[in-house]
Structure 1
Amino acid sequence: MPVFPIIATPAGPVSSDAPAWNRQRRSQMPSHRYRNVFDKVDVPLAERTWPDRKLTEAPLWVPVDLRDGNQALPEPMDPARKKRFFELMVAMGYKEIEVGYPSASQTDFDFVRVLAHTDLAPDDVTIVVFTPARRDLIERTIESIRGITNDVVVHMYTATAPIWRDVVLGRDSDNVRALILAGATDVLELAGDLANVRFEFSPEVFNLTEPDYVLDVCDAVTTLWDATRQRPVILNLPATVEVATPNVYADQIEYMHHNIARRDCVILSVHPHNDRGTGIACAELAVLAGAQRVEGCIFGNGERTGNVDIATLALNLHAQGIDPMIDFSDIDEIRRTVEYCNQLEMHPRHPYVGDLVHTAFSGTHQDAIKKGFVEHHARAAKESLPATAVEWRVPYLPIDPADIGRSYDAVIRVNSQSGKGGIAYLLETGFGVELPRRLQIDLARHVQRRTDLDGTELSADQLWRIFHEVYVGGKDAADVALISFDSHDEHERTTTRVTLEIEGQQSNSTHEGVGPVEALIEALTVHNRHIEILSLTQTSVRAGNDSDALTMVEYRTVDGSGWVAGVDRSVLTATLNAVVRAVNSAGHTIAAR
């Protein structure tokens, strides 16, 4: 193997006189069509301090999932999903939430009105509403917040970057400035007398706007709105389209931090997007540079490649020993809610929340993690402290999975994760069954127990028998059976009749306007068999006319969660059998949550 010399060379593109080991083939991509961002935005920052600073506390987090994130969904949230997402954010501890764009849709307007007429928003939660700088839309926005007793932020925006001025607005810089001040005047006129209302301004595409121009516009707005310490103005500076390395954004934020007027009367906010994949870095460096507030989405949903992921940002702080001020102690429940509301599945490698983030397939990683766990618990025993009170020092795992509600079983199983992959492969190739990832992990535990006993290699048929024994099984001690099930439409409304046998006694019930699974769960609930279906996956066993339907169900009761399955020629029967199996597996009587 050749030994390459270490040669110090100035930063820059590879040239024809570069060392032979550093020459690269030119691509055929038309890179010459694009200008370096430094040619577009020259930040007049004489001295930067952000590289020497350290993060010491959490900024104010502002989730924009209900507005910016919602606008980016193929299917925007209906009122029920919006309500569930809002309740999640409140439960997690967010104190300022952007709830919608009331002038853009009736659904958003109506949701804001719900907050005005109910106690859905606790008194200490600030409501943010979003509007362009146009009088009729501002009027509609202010109309939506009438009667809300919580603190409210009216968030006005206008694009300020040259391309947007030229291509989108068709106005020069002076006309855009006048448009912004006219909108700010309308906001002040319509809401200035509301004591619980504060104002926010976003010069959209801030990061591509001339620094002196955006500074002038922001100062004009804070002067017009008379920013004070008692009623501060939020200046939100979005990297609407990420176009530069994160240090450029940090310089831009620091320039504003040092030069805006009424600095002690302004809350400096940032709203990074993720077009270059560095939204997290942009936000972290922006906070070092003086930002006090970060807007983004939980797990990073948003237009194009998304908004900055404020869950990852918060847990990055947690991993450095800084309280993120937000509760992620049940991250899987947070994920389920976000996936349900967004109708978007989380990537298994997504930081902190993905199914595989605590899993190692490499043998060397597995060995290091195992040794780290042994050492961690040994230190806890030596100091007579619970494991959660001892400094976390486990290789490859930046945080303790227990902090976010993950069980240690999921990490300890890392020693058999390669086996899990093999199990999944054999069942898929032998039976056409593709298991959900969390069910793969659960099944691997049972298979490992079997292989530990006899030490033999298992075939696909043997694996299928283990799967059937563990998850399908038969009627067990809980003694719940489905006798009959009939669902049909009456007067344009679905009516379902369910007959159950519970502890030897038959019971009939009728359910209207719900699907088959919901009807069965309602029937079981009448008899104090309470169960929550977390996920339901339907597939077939083998292919062809003689294939069986397979339904796999992840359920939860007060006693914990688990997996069951149902197999039948009928998809519906397989699904209902799985639900009954889940109830039987949970025990006799499960108290209502």
Structure 2
Amino acid sequence: MRSIEVFDTTLRDGEQSAGVNLHRHEKLEIAYQLEAYGVDVMEAGFPASSQGDFESVREIASVIKNSVVAGLARSTEGDIDRSWEALRGAVSPRLHLFIGTSPIHMQYKFRMTPDEVLESTVAAVRYAKKYFSDIEWSAEDATRSDPEFLARVISAVIREGATVINLPDTVGYTTPTEYAELFRYVQENVPGIEKVKLSAHCHDDLGMAVINTLSAIGAGVHQFEGTINGIGERAGNVAIEEVALALATRKDFFQAETGLVLAQTLRTSRLVSKLTGMPVPPNKAVVGANAFAHESGIHQDGVLKNKETYEIMKPEMIGHSSNSLPIGKHSGRHALRVKCEELGIKLDEAEFLRLFKSVKELTDKKKVVSDDDIMALAYDTVGAAQQPHYELQSLHVSYSAGSISTTTLELSTPDGEVVREAATGNGSVEAIYHTIERLIGEEIELLDYRIQSTTGGRDSLAEVYVKVAMQGKSGSGRGVDSDVLAASAKAYLDAVNRILAGMTHGATERARTADARMAAEAKVAGESEMSEESPLEEQAAKA
């Protein structure tokens, strides 16, 4: 039985999904869960892309102990230096270098000849080897590259010390047979290929990411790369859980397995869905709400007689279980702490107390608080007090059919003031958002609005996800409440707070950069003045 390593890129490629905007504390929460899930490698981000990404990668690298932590870098010394700064604190750091190798990428994206790409690649790997012992090299758009040129570049990077070779199907173009043949060609035509691990990275533009990945595994790759729930650019990446469960369920055919803790599958999926705001389709394989549901009478009859008639996987295999420790009105802090441990929720003391308060408030409205309720409340409260922000204090909505809705709303501002305003709208949500605009004093455009419930039943919590644009920036937000309108207001404010936090952070970084530039210019000017002094003046200056 071959062991296949899992390279998770949810925090890098997954976060590039349209509309996804994760905060640092949310990335850290996902990183902890990926570690619990047992991924071999987690790509924490692209350190050179922004200060926020750099800080997230550095924080994740400092706390993750049981997985390799990787950072993406272009083939430039600046990117490599930045990645080392972010990853140097990791127990097991990996640099993930990439460059395009297809004719269309080399000509139009990089504006380089094949020889220039080869030269740049060799120089980058050689430079990176000063810092990193573990270097993964990726040929972007490998499946549309010339195999002979690909073999030349791979041979060169292996000689320079690359340890993993990744041949991504960057645009989801290839077919299962072609992808398997590409890996076989490389194994047959690259000297020293046995010294490195081969990796597959598939996108789902034509809906073939899973079968292409499985074909690559059949062709001998040692690692596959993907994301939780298959999120990512355009149509997304291969869904890690689907490949893992295919290998586990059909060991007889694939003769390969991962080291994932499969019982953590559902929890990992739900966490990523909640924090990214990307719902899992009910009919999605493995983790969809209907994956183990049987509606047809014939199917129900078969399952009641023998589950194996229509279930090829046991629900418990991916983490479905009954609520063995229900949280209710009389539950105390200890019970909630144990439940948080069961759910893999990591909170500091202040965050836990905020969660406990929220749970207690919810138990006044519903008899038993479900695991999904606790997870929703936890991810709504984590990081809430990390920076000054607008916060909903009170909300009153007046509505009747066929008339204009009116909202009166109170907010606490980042300065600690409590302000109050009223506005109208064609509906309750529009009235709420008009009121928030007045209070904040900004024109805000609502780009997307989605609502879902944490569980079934009329007492379920409402989870609202929005995307807004303000001052030329866009941001997403999430709000949770037992009341749909309060959840809508919270989501809108969360999106605004994220945009404002990003602007503040960007302004701070620009100020630091300007200060550093001025200091450097002053130093150069000082050195220039010293060089123009006479020997006597120079001696006096030294004295």
TM range (shorter): 0.5 to 0.7
Match of 2:182 in 1: 252
- Deviation per CA, 1:402-422: give whole Å up to 9, x if none: 22233599xxxxxxxxxxxxx
C-alpha separation in 1, matches of 2:352 and 2:306: 50
- 1:325 corresponds, among 251, 259, 262, to 259
- Relative to structure 1, the CA distance from residue 346 to residue 573 in structure 2 (aligned partners, 3 Å threshold; closer, same or farther) is closer
- Relative to structure 1, the CA distance from residue 307 to residue 574 in structure 2 (aligned partners, 3 Å threshold; closer, same or farther) is closer
- Relative to structure 1, the CA distance from residue 554 to residue 131 in structure 2 (aligned partners, 3 Å threshold; closer, same or farther) is closer
Match of 1:421 in 2: none
- Aligned partner of residue 224 in structure 2, secondary structure: strand
- Relative to structure 1, the CA distance from residue 273 to residue 84 in structure 2 (aligned partners, 3 Å threshold; closer, same or farther) is same
Match of 1:4 in 2: none
Equivalent residues of 1:401, 1:408 under 8 A apart: no
- Aligned partner of residue 167 in structure 1, secondary structure: helix
1:200 aligned to 2:136? yes
- 1:157 corresponds, among 83, 89, 98, to 98
Superposed counterparts of 1:340-359, under 5 Å: 340-359=274-293
- Relative to structure 1, the CA distance from residue 308 to residue 524 in structure 2 (aligned partners, 3 Å threshold; closer, same or farther) is closer
- 2:125 corresponds, among 184, 187, 191, to 184
Match of 2:15 in 1: 70
Superposed counterparts of 1:302-341, under 5 Å: 302-321=232-251, 323-341=257-275
Superposed counterparts of 1:112-131, under 5 Å: 112-115=57-60, 118=62, 120-122=63-65, 124-131=66-73
Match of 2:501 in 1: none
Equivalent residues of 1:566, 1:576 under 8 A apart: no
C-alpha separation in 1, matches of 2:227 and 2:105: 24
Match of 1:238 in 2: 168
Match of 1:283 in 2: 213
Equivalent residues of 1:299, 1:311 under 8 A apart: yes
Equivalent residues of 2:28, 2:60 under 8 A apart: no
Match of 1:564 in 2: 459
- 2:157 corresponds, among 217, 221, 246, to 221
- Aligned partner of residue 287 in structure 2, secondary structure: coil
State the one-letter code of the partner of 1:544. A
C-alpha separation in 1, matches of 2:95 and 2:201: 16
Q: CA deviation at 1:516?
A: 11
- Aligned partner of residue 233 in structure 2, secondary structure: coil
- 1:106 corresponds, among 27, 33, 51, to 51
Q: CA deviation at 1:573?
A: 8.5
TM-score (norm 2): 0.61
C-alpha separation in 2, matches of 1:66 and 1:302: 10
- Relative to structure 1, the CA distance from residue 543 to residue 317 in structure 2 (aligned partners, 3 Å threshold; closer, same or farther) is farther
Q: Which runs of 5+ in 1 are unaligned?
A: 1-55, 228-232, 374-393, 410-476, 481-511, 556-560, 579-593
- 1:399 corresponds, among 309, 313, 336, to 313
Q: Which runs of 5+ in 2 are unaligned?
A: 332-349, 378-396, 406-427, 429-450, 463-479, 488-543
Q: CA deviation at 1:554?
A: 5.0
C-alpha separation in 1, matches of 2:116 and 2:211: 34
- 1:140 corresponds, among 70, 82, 106, to 82
Superposed counterparts of 1:485-524, under 5 Å: 520-521=358-359
- Aligned partner of residue 564 in structure 1, secondary structure: coil
C-alpha separation in 2, matches of 1:333 and 1:182: 42
Q: CA deviation at 1:151?
A: 1.5
C-alpha separation in 2, matches of 1:257 and 1:151: 27
- Relative to structure 1, the CA distance from residue 544 to residue 87 in structure 2 (aligned partners, 3 Å threshold; closer, same or farther) is same
Match of 1:544 in 2: 401
Equivalent residues of 2:48, 2:54 under 8 A apart: yes
State the one-letter code of the partner of 1:299. N
C-alpha separation in 1, matches of 2:351 and 2:242: 40
- Relative to structure 1, the CA distance from residue 169 to residue 522 in structure 2 (aligned partners, 3 Å threshold; closer, same or farther) is same
- Relative to structure 1, the CA distance from residue 139 to residue 552 in structure 2 (aligned partners, 3 Å threshold; closer, same or farther) is closer
- Relative to structure 1, the CA distance from residue 576 to residue 524 in structure 2 (aligned partners, 3 Å threshold; closer, same or farther) is farther
Q: CA deviation at 1:520?
A: 4.5
C-alpha separation in 2, matches of 1:209 and 1:553: 46
C-alpha separation in 1, matches of 2:144 and 2:266: 38
- 2:29 corresponds, among 77, 84, 90, to 84
- Deviation per CA, 1:139-179: give whole Å up to 9, x if none: 21122223x14121111100010011111112221122122
Equivalent residues of 2:11, 2:43 under 8 A apart: yes
Match of 1:533 in 2: 374
Q: CA deviation at 1:368?
A: 2.2
Equivalent residues of 1:60, 1:294 under 8 A apart: yes
Moved >4 Å (runs of 4+): 477-480, 512-520, 522-525, 529-532, 551-555, 571-578
State the one-letter code of the partner of 1:257. Q
C-alpha separation in 2, matches of 1:177 and 1:142: 23
1:175 aligned to 2:127? no
Equivalent residues of 1:100, 1:112 under 8 A apart: yes
- Aligned partner of residue 65 in structure 1, secondary structure: coil
- Aligned partner of residue 165 in structure 2, secondary structure: strand
- Aligned partner of residue 144 in structure 1, secondary structure: helix
Match of 1:496 in 2: none
- Relative to structure 1, the CA distance from residue 239 to residue 543 in structure 2 (aligned partners, 3 Å threshold; closer, same or farther) is farther
C-alpha separation in 1, matches of 2:81 and 2:212: 34
State the one-letter code of the partner of 1:134. T
- Which of the two has higher C-alpha Rg? 1
- Relative to structure 1, the CA distance from residue 200 to residue 78 in structure 2 (aligned partners, 3 Å threshold; closer, same or farther) is same
Q: CA deviation at 1:132?
A: 0.4
C-alpha separation in 2, matches of 1:407 and 1:519: 26
- Deviation per CA, 1:160-205: give whole Å up to 9, x if none: 100111111122211221221222232124x15xxxx311110100
- Relative to structure 1, the CA distance from residue 205 to residue 367 in structure 2 (aligned partners, 3 Å threshold; closer, same or farther) is same
State the one-letter code of the partner of 1:353. V
- Aligned partner of residue 459 in structure 2, secondary structure: strand
Match of 1:412 in 2: none
C-alpha separation in 2, matches of 1:130 and 1:82: 16
Match of 1:262 in 2: 192
Q: Percent identity?
A: 26
Equivalent residues of 1:351, 1:357 under 8 A apart: yes
Match of 1:25 in 2: none
State the one-letter code of the partner of 2:224. V
C-alpha separation in 1, matches of 2:172 and 2:71: 24
Match of 2:204 in 1: 274
C-alpha separation in 2, matches of 1:341 and 1:287: 31
